[in-house]
Amino acid sequence: MPTWVQLVNLLCAVCFILALKGLSGPKTARAGNLLGAGAAVVAVVLPFIYLDLKHVPLIVAAIAVGSIGGVVGAQKVQMTQMPQMVALFNGVGGGAAALVALVELHEMVPHADAVSWFVLAATAFTIAVGAVSFAGSIVTFAKLQELMTSRPVIFPGLPIVFGASGVAAVVLGVLTVTQPAVWIGIALALLGLLVGVLLVLPVGGADVPIVISLLNAFTGLTVAAGGYVLSNVVLLVAGTLVGASGTYLTLLMAKAMGRSVANILFGALKGGSTLGAGEASDRPVRSAGPEDVAILLGYADRVIIVPGYGLAVAQAQHTLRELVDVLVARGTRVDYAIHPVAGRMPGHMNVLLAEAQVPYEQLVEMDDINSEFKHTDVVLVVGANDVVNPAAKTTPGAPIYGMPILDADEAKQIVFMKRSMRPGFAGIENELLFDPKTTLLFGDAKDSLGKLLNAVKAL
């Protein structure tokens, strides 16, 4: 590889690191994203310049198909479907890494004696874990897109089948190193697909986005291992960054849920997974119309908004911002309380509200705002449920027990905006709905917020 090519690759790797740094803040996120994308384009174009590539028309055609798919997907995907899109990207990356590793194994087999055992081990790792990431990501996509049930899928003997498949994959991985053969690599890939499916099937409800993050880390590790196999520094650095950030994000999300990663993955086997379904309650609650809620908000000095996934589904963020602007103009202090897993993934709610031009200074993280609830006149919960459910603190048998929550129950008045009495993603009732301080405003969030906005303006 010419020296100038190595220098360009090094520059691309540095740009990836700077891009990740840029994504850590709202003011630099767009520039960071563009920097990373630009470096990726340079890294892809570079081999066309210094290598005598074969099958160039096929390569260009594949790039064109991927580019068109990416542009169309970026334009059409809804903000509420971002986790599904991330899951698909994870799967495609892991599957591509596995296929490349299989091709490399095919090239290595005739010269296996001259190939380092570590390169063969990296190849086996890429095939197996890439296949796991691909299959698992497809299942997470199907769960979130409601192409299949979001509840845990369990069958008798699942732990045994999963364990046996994992052991068999390890055995085939060892054989790939000691007796490399293409058929062993193919068998290893097929076992990886099975392990990926079995890994995700028992996961349900609000746990699915955490598994997406874990599979993202898997994809990053496979890309890094593939970079080692191909002696490609850019792939090695990019994959390491994705693997490290994905792992860190998974641990942060698990902490936000108050559970371990092992419990999230296998908790359903003993009833510990968030369920993702549940029956609507018929217990009596106190409800009110927009005019009554407007009076509560209109005479409040301190208001905290708790946005959730229901806000995103209703595309009501613009109306909510207008309501907050009216309250602020009247002298009310208003903040948005952001739970680490509000929406479905960290940052999901921040991006949704940024899309509505909500000032970033009004978005306050859970740890910083929890002490404020006791001094708050009204908490307005819009499309959220589990992140304010006291069962996380009071009910040891609940699926969300131990999850840090927003202390909305400490406010003087709580207003819930809900479509129905169906439970949240965890599949359990929220006792806060039946608290004497709580008022429910039923209806579609966008429609209800519009009526509430008009009622507040009329005060």
Q: Which residues are the active-site residues?
A: 386
- Residues in Cβ contact with 174 at an 8 Å cutoff, skipping those fewer than 6 apart: 124
Q: Which two tokens stand for residue 384?
A: 């959220």
Judge whether 137 and 91 are in contact, CB under 8 Å: yes
DSSP string, 355-392: HTT--GGGEEEHHHHGGGGGG-SEEEEES--GGG-THH
Q: Under DSSP, is residue 289 helix (H, G, I), strand (E, B) or coil?
A: coil
Nearest to 187 by CA among 97, 118, 112, 102: 102
Q: Which two tokens stand for residue 44?
A: 């892809």
Cα(371)–Cα(387) distance, rounded to whole angstroms? 16
- Find the angle CA(208)-CA(214)-CA(217) to the nearest 5 degrees: 150
Judge whether 185 and 176 are in contact, CB under 8 Å: yes
Handedness of CA 63, 65, 66, 67 (dihedral sign): positive
- Residues in Cβ contact with 289 at an 8 Å cutoff, skipping those fewer than 6 apart: 441
According to DSSP, the residues that pair with 418 across neighbouring strands are: 442
Q: In one letter, which amino acid is 260?
A: S
Judge whether 298 and 330 are in contact, CB under 8 Å: yes
Judge whether 159 and 208 are in contact, CB under 8 Å: no
Cα(246)–Cα(335) distance, rounded to whole angstroms? 29
Judge whether 42 and 48 are in contact, CB under 8 Å: no
Q: In one letter, which amino acid is 169?
A: A
Cα(149)–Cα(139) distance, rounded to whole angstroms? 10
